[in-house]
Amino acid sequence: QQQVKQSPQSLIVQKGGIPIINCAYENTAFDYFPWYQQFPGKGPALLIAIRPDVSEKKEGRFTISFNKSAKQFSLHIMDSQPGDSATYFCAASKSTGRRALTFGSGTRLQVQP
């Protein structure tokens, strides 16, 4: 059972554009939602994370929007650059027990010069 659904699968934007990646979760027990960036052949790197008690969080050019009632959250990348071209994964976990992450399927972002 896929508990975190991510879309789109791939995304192409022009430099300076604002790509938006969406995720939806099913398990209402999830209360920690991070986003990771992964370059080919590398491990994922944490970008930003949010908890359900806030609707938006911004760190640098990265913003998470969170809609608890809809069980959805999204990543916005402001002023995107070619160096942002990577695969982005959303994830979710519970803050109790093993705290294992459930990952979305990933979005391959290409930012064209």
Partner 1 sequence: GAVVSQHPSRVICKSGTSVKIECRSLDFQATTMFWYRQFPKQSLMLMATSNEGSKATYEQGVEKDKFLINHASLTLSTLTVTSAHPEDSSFYICSARAGGLTDTQYFGPGTRLTVL
**Residues making contact with partner 1 (CB under 8 A):** 32, 34, 36, 41-46, 49, 89, 93, 95, 98-106, 108
Residue 94, Cβ density class (10 Å: 0-12 exposed, 13-18 middle, ≥19 buried): middle
- DSSP classification of residue 84: G
Tell me how far, at minimum, the Cβ of 1 lies from partner 1, in Å: 11
Tell me how far, at minimum, the Cβ of 19 lies from partner 1, in Å: 18
Tell me how far, at minimum, the Cβ of 33 lies from partner 1, in Å: 10
Nearer residue to partner 1 within complex by CB, 19 or 106? 106
Return the H-helix or E-strand segment holding 88: strand 86-92
Reading phi first (left if > 0) and then psi (alpha if -120 to 50, else beta), residue 47 is in: alpha
Nearer residue to partner 1 within complex by CB, 41 or 113? 41
Per the CB < 8 A criterion, the answer to whether 84 and 70 are in contact is: no
Nearer residue to partner 1 within complex by CB, 30 or 84? 30
